[in-house]
Structure 1
Amino acid sequence: MKLRFEDHSLRLRLSEAEVAHFAETGRVAVVVPLGLTVGESLTYALERADSEEFRITHGAGAITVKVPATLAAHWTSTDQNGLSATLMMAENQSLKVLIEKDLDCRH
């Protein structure tokens, strides 16, 4: 899974295998080591949520994007390539969230 930050946006791109894993388990995560100890890492994850809204949680070296279960089910079981939402964050700043399938090109 690829994570990209740009201006006021966060983008996750999942491989076919990661999309399948997310469909099956409701969660996919990546841990990036940023130091010499296990505690010095960044974990970013995509989770299926019971809520009706996109959410982002963060803290203690982790960022989690939570997607409504109904949207997640449709996205993983169809040809739909992406999901997006604009979230209002602290101090009235918006964050655009985009989740995409990073599928191999087929000729």
Structure 2
Amino acid sequence: MKLRIEDNSLRLRLSEDEVHHFATTGRVASVVPLGLTTTENLTYALERAETEEFRVTYGAGAITVKVPAALATHWTTTDQNGFSATLMMAEDQPLKILIEKDLDCRH
């Protein structure tokens, strides 16, 4: 899974295998080591949530994007390439979230 952070936006791109894993388990995550110990990592994840709203959580070296279950199911079972949302964060700062299938990537 690829993570792109730019200005006030997060973009996650999932390979075909990751989309299938997400559809099956409701969660897909990647870990980037950022230090010399195993606790110095950045984990980023996409989770299916039983809510009707997008959420982003951050803490303890982890960014988690939570998407409504109905939208997640539709996305993983159709040819829909992506979906997005804009969340209002602290001090009315917008955060744009974009989730996409990266089906042509074969590395």
Shorter-chain TM-score category? Answer: over 0.9
* Percent identity over paired residues: 81
TM-score with structure 2 setting the length:
0.96
Structure 1 stretches of 5 or more lacking a match? Answer: none
RMSD after superposition: 0.8
| Distance apart, 1:5 and its partner CA | 0.6
| Counterpart for residue 79 of structure 1 | 79
| Counterpart for residue 28 of structure 1 | 28
Deviations 1:37-81 (A, max 9, x none): 111000000000001000000010000000000000000000000
Structure 2 stretches of 5 or more lacking a match? Answer: none
| Superposed counterparts of 1:12-23, under 5 Å | 12-23=12-23
Q: Give 4+ residue runs of structure 1 displaced > 3 Å after superposition.
A: none
| Counterpart for residue 66 of structure 1 | 66
| Superposed counterparts of 1:45-60, under 5 Å | 45-60=45-60
Is residue 88 from structure 1 mapped to residue 93 from structure 2 by the alignment? Answer: no
Aligned residues: 105
TM-score with structure 1 setting the length:
0.96
Once residues 31 and 5 of structure 2 are traced to their aligned partners in structure 1, the CA distance between those partners, rounded to angstroms, is 16
